[in-house]
Amino acid sequence: MAERERDYSFEAMVDVCGIVYAEITELERGRMNAALKQLREVHPDDYLLADLIFDRAKMYRDVYEGAALTPQALTGNWSQLPDKHDEWRKSQVVHTNVHAADDGCETCGGDKLIVYSQRPAGMDGVPGQIHTYEEFAPCPDCNGGANVGFWRHDGTRFNAPEPTQVRRRIQG
């Protein structure tokens, strides 16, 4: 008996739609095959189509957040997804390099962060020359409530010092 050739696009559709293959009904299989028939008319290469199914499913989830992803939903939006996804991505742009408005803070000059300490970084190979790391913290006068903590690679948490500690260190 000859081994049946893999149907990559069918496998991709099952995967992206979250269908449990062992429990698929005849009706589900029929709907999936009808959807795939339409897609195969546009993209006859089965391996390429499988790759496109994964790409467009990601686009669908981004654009239609929370909507059920079915073979019909993916096929029904197939040609529009790249453009809609581009529009969605443009709406998600966050401008991180925008300078904070100068609020006249005398402590930080409107930067919202200050250098509160310097610690040795060690020798850099140049005899007698030691470099330092600058340690930054939110300005205690205009940005004391900022949460700049983060998780380190080893699973421990770093939290910036309290505003009172920062004031003490910058004053003396």
84 and 126, same domain (yes or no): no
Please, which residues bridge with residue 118 across strands? 134
CB 10 within 8 A of CB 30: no
Q: Residue 142 has what pLDDT?
A: 86
| Tens digit of each residue's pLDDT, the chain (172 residues) | 678 888 999 999 999 999 998 999 999 999 999 999 999 999 999 999 999 999 999 999 999 999 999 999 999 999 999 999 999 888 877 656 556 566 678 888 888 888 888 877 766 566 666 677 888 888 888 887 888 888 888 888 888 888 888 888 888 7
Q: Is residue 105 part of a domain?
A: no
Contacts of 142 (CB under 8 A, 6+ apart): 103, 105, 107, 108, 110, 112
CA distance 46 to 11: 11
136 and 80, same domain (yes or no): no
Q: Is residue 167 part of a domain?
A: yes
CA distance 65 to 85: 12
Q: Is residue 103 part of a domain?
A: no
60 and 133, same domain (yes or no): no
Q: Is residue 101 part of a domain?
A: no
Q: Residue 60 has what pLDDT?
A: 95
Q: Residue 67 has what pLDDT?
A: 93
CA distance 87 to 82: 9
128 and 72, same domain (yes or no): no
87 and 153, same domain (yes or no): no
Q: Residue 77 has what pLDDT?
A: 95
Domain final residue, candidates 58, 91, 124? 91
When divided into structural domains, the chain yields a total of: 2
Q: Residue 61 has what pLDDT?
A: 94
Q: Is residue 27 part of a domain?
A: yes
Q: Residue 149 has what pLDDT?
A: 81
User: How many Å separate Cα 38 from the centre of its chain?
Assistant: 32
CA distance 132 to 68: 53
Q: Is residue 107 part of a domain?
A: no
Q: Is residue 97 part of a domain?
A: no
0.85 surpassed by pTM:
no
Domain of residue 148: give its range: 113-171
